Amino acid sequence: MVSEDTLAGKLGGSAMVQTRIKPYLQQVAEKARRAEQTHVYRRNQVFGLLLVAAAILVWWLFHTNPNWIFSAGVVASMSALNGSSLSPT
């Protein structure tokens, strides 16, 4: 019979592989824990993507010509408030 150390050495894995059959309750608990971890990971991933999308939107709004986004009357009133000389064309 081949020992686990010899088998792990031949297969390139570690000798810490557990080959025993786990009790059903332990399997269920591990499956539930993995499902919870996956849920939290996906939630955090979505939150991070929303933050990135918001950052891109804010950057785009500040680096785009205001005449392309707002109507001429809004740009004129914004320029009057800021004291700048943007022409609403």
pLDDT of res. 25: 96
Total structural domains within the chain: 1
* Range(s) of the domain holding residue 68: 21-82
Q: Give the 3-state secondary structure of residue 45.
A: helix
Measured between alpha carbons, how far is residue 48 from residues 30, 45, 53 in Å? 27, 5, 9
Instruction: Indicate whether 2 belongs to any domain.
Output: no
Angle (CA) 80-84-89 rounded to 5° is 80
Instruction: Indicate whether 7 belongs to any domain.
Output: no
Contact assessment for residue 15 and residue 5, using Cβ atoms and an 8 Å cutoff = yes
Instruction: Indicate whether 47 belongs to any domain.
Output: yes
pLDDT of res. 64: 86
**What confidence tens digit (pLDDT) does each residue in 3-47 have?**
555 555 565 656 677 778 999 999 999 999 999 999 999 999 999
Instruction: Indicate whether 39 belongs to any domain.
Output: yes
pLDDT of res. 12: 61
Instruction: Indicate whether 35 belongs to any domain.
Output: yes
Instruction: Indicate whether 89 belongs to any domain.
Output: no
Instruction: Indicate whether 77 belongs to any domain.
Output: yes
Distance CA 28, CA 7 (A): 29
For residue 16, report the phi and psi dihedrals to the nearest 5 degrees.
-95, 15
**What confidence tens digit (pLDDT) does each residue in 54-65 have?**
999 999 988 888
Instruction: Indicate whether 42 belongs to any domain.
Output: yes
